[in-house]
Chains A and B, each alone.
Chain A
Amino acid sequence: MTAALEVRGLKTHFFTRSGAVKAVDGVDLSIERGRVLGLVGESGSGKSVTGLSILGLIDHPGRIVEGSVRLDGQELVGLDRDASRRVRGRRIAMIFQDPMMTLNPVLRVGTQMSMALRAHETVSNAVVRERSLKALGKVGLPAPEQCLAAYPHQLSGGMRQRVAIAIALLHSPSVIVADEPTTALDVSIQAQILQEMQRLGAETGVALVWITHDLAVVSSLAHDIAVMYAGRIVEYGPTADVLAQPRHPYTRGLLDSVPGEAEPGEKLAQIPGSIPALIDLPPGCAFRARCSRATGACETMPEIADIGGRLARCFHPLEAA
């Protein structure tokens, strides 16, 4: 069985006046139908750009310089504008962080859903209505009829995000890329949406790429987890393994700085320093300046390799506990 989404050696660079920013610099991912992949990293790690690159939504001055993105076996990199557009929204969809901003404030929900449907299909008004209602019902919105006639500001944040998910589901895509879709929501709403997505993934068999900075979110949702740092994946494997026994020092650092894991009163661990600027990045492991285990060997970039049942990019991986 071919993977629903297969990303190989993806490099997306932004060519600014002060130099090339290597936002994504060689990313490999693979995800099968019905599964959830958590793509985790701090802001600036390149996780969002990876999502946008998969959809072909990189704008000037950015460009995919290398690599391949295969959707159900079909190559997406290098498609012309229109072919790329015909894939987007129909076979692969994306939802974004702030549901307040992702829906157009001056158009009714129904109008926006109709435009999304008609981007790929020629259908009658009755069909548009029927399918929109069905999609809204599927994401658990209590009154789909009223929702269709509403303007975004008349809905709550959680409802808006459900509308966005419904729009993403309209064409039954193989893959949905979700870029921090719950970050802007209240914790209780966040949990509801997560549950909903889990259910939808199981029911529709859609493959879900869940981009987040929050390890707690992916731990309950994702089958696999990929940790990104400075444009590269540093650790990639089954969620349970990675979280229970991280091998890359950066993953360990991330886990230690989650407050839930610490005892009250105990000082929270933190990773010293901050994520480096992606412009003029020195060769070698990008994490070495912040890493207690770094040695002279780290001045060359380690390859990503199988270490204890998952992939990790490190010369000095942590031992299994």
Chain B
Amino acid sequence: MLGFLIQRLLQAVAVMVVISVLVFVGVFAIGNPIDVLIAPDATQDIRLDTIRRYGFDQPLWKQYLNFAASLVQGDFGRSFVFNMPVLQLILSRLPATLELTLVAVIGATIIGVPLGMYAGYRPNAVSSRAIMGLSVLGFSLPTFWIGILFIMGFAVELGWLPAGGRGDTVEVWGIQWSVLTLNGWSHLVLPALTLSLFRMALMIRMARAGMREAMLSDYVRFARAQGISDSKVIFGHVLKNISIPLVTVFGLELAATMAFAVVTETIFSWPGLGKLIIDSIQSLDRPVMVAYLMLVAFLFIMINFSVDIAYAALDPRVRSGRT
């Protein structure tokens, strides 16, 4: 197990290095960063001075090393737009996004997995067909469009829920949370639901496929031949089997949902990372873009890492080194 952990950690570091190279090339090397840093009507002297100051006259590999060195020290530079350290800016926006993402993914799992399991258990029932119809819809509706419909329906027409913002927050451990106030929840429901519909559709499908396959498997047939009731077969036998792929999906979805929060946050003016990155892209605030990408990559790797460990903990075959 320890060897497994060390191996995975080394892999994670390697992946971070690869990603930092890609981000560096993608964001700094393509296009001319100087155009962003100085006014178009600046004199040639100012131009050269800026190039020297930011090290753009050095060879590319040296620029990358400077870039990597400052990343390691936690120095992501200053935001051109907000004129504050990028790291501080990002950390101040992170809780809002985490909150939204977690509520969306946990909600999608709690609702989607039982629905999917039911649909897999009774594949021919009318209710199962309805569930699958819903999941096709969840897959097909683009996130931004669901958001628009929700705002139209619940905020504009019915006036039940606010159309944007984060609402009242409570400070815990120096961080603001919306989930702890009723008003915060009223702001959270629509964006979280918007964000979760696609995930829910995915969870339904995964759970259904897993359930269908499991119900046809030999171990279920053997369990039923022992006179174990269907409910005990499902909750005692099948659940643990299908939870293994579901945990993987849960982890990956957590990360993917953070990325999709970009769209939801823009629509609902949710003051999180996603809105920040869109604003930064539009104002070409490159240090923020770089920091965001590195942060998301980091979170991804951490999540993948935890998924691997959870997987090993759940599946005895992996735990004992067999695949």
Contact = CB atoms under 8 A, between A and B. Distances in A.
A89 B316 contact: no
Contacts of A120: 227
A107 B222 CA distance: 14
B227 A94 contact: no
B229 A85 contact: yes
A115 B218 CA distance: 16
Given A88-B224, A154-B320, A104 B229 contact: no
A55 B222 CA distance: 11
A233 interface: no
Contacts of B225: 55, 57, 88-89, 93-94, 96
A106 B314 contact: yes
Given A101-B219, A106-B244, A107-B240, A119 B316 contact: no
B236 A115 contact: yes
Contacts of A101: 217-219
A115 B322 CA distance: 26
B124 interface: yes
A57 B233 CA distance: 14
Interface string A81-119: 010011111100111111001111111000010011001
A89 B225 CA distance: 6
A17 interface: no
A91 to B, nearest CB: 9
Nearest to B237: A104
Contacts of A168: 226
Interface of A is mostly: mixed
A116 B225 CA distance: 10
Contact of A153 (B222, B224, B232, B322): B322
Interface residues of A, number: 34
A55 B225 CA distance: 7
B226 A102 contact: no
Contacts of A151: 316-317, 320
Contacts of B91: none
A119 B317 contact: no
B180 interface: no
Contacts of B229: 82, 85, 119
A121 to B, nearest CB: 11
A147 interface: no
B219 A119 contact: no
Interface string B220-260: 01111111110010001100110010000000000000000
A164 interface: yes
Nearest to A55: B225
A312 to B, nearest CB: 32
A86 B226 CA distance: 9
A107 B238 CA distance: 10
A85 B237 contact: no
A120 B322 CA distance: 35
B227 to A, nearest CB: 3
Nearest to B227: A89
A267 interface: no
B226 A119 contact: yes
A167 interface: yes
Given A101-B218, A106-B315, A119 B228 contact: yes
Contacts of A55: 225
Contact of B232 (A93, A96, A106, A115): A115
| Best-surrounded residue of A85, A106, A151 (most CB of chain B within 10 A) | A106
A105 B316 contact: yes
A116 B316 contact: no
Contacts of A102: 218-219, 221-222
A102 B316 CA distance: 16
Contacts of A87: 227
A279 to B, nearest CB: 21
B226 A93 contact: yes
B316 A115 contact: no
B222 A57 contact: no
A82 B217 CA distance: 22
Given A101-B219, A106-B314, A57 B226 contact: no
A90 B227 contact: yes
Nearest to A90: B227
B220 to A, nearest CB: 8
A107 B322 CA distance: 16
A59 to B, nearest CB: 9
Interface string B299-310: 000000000000
A86 B227 CA distance: 6
Nearest to B215: A59
A259 B171 CA distance: 81
Contacts of A95: 222
Contact of A105 (B222, B226, B227, B317): B317
B317 A153 contact: yes
Nearest to B317: A153
Contacts of B315: 106
A119 B237 CA distance: 13
7 contacts: A94-B225, A102-B221, A102-B222, A104-B223, A112-B223, A167-B226, A168-B226
Given A93-B226, A119-B228, A168-B226, 11 more contacts: A94-B225, A96-B222, A101-B217, A101-B219, A102-B219, A102-B221, A105-B316, A106-B317, A107-B237, A115-B232, A167-B222
Closest 9 A/B residue pairs (Cβ): A89-B227, A89-B226, A101-B218, A88-B227, A94-B225, A102-B222, A151-B316, A119-B228, A104-B219
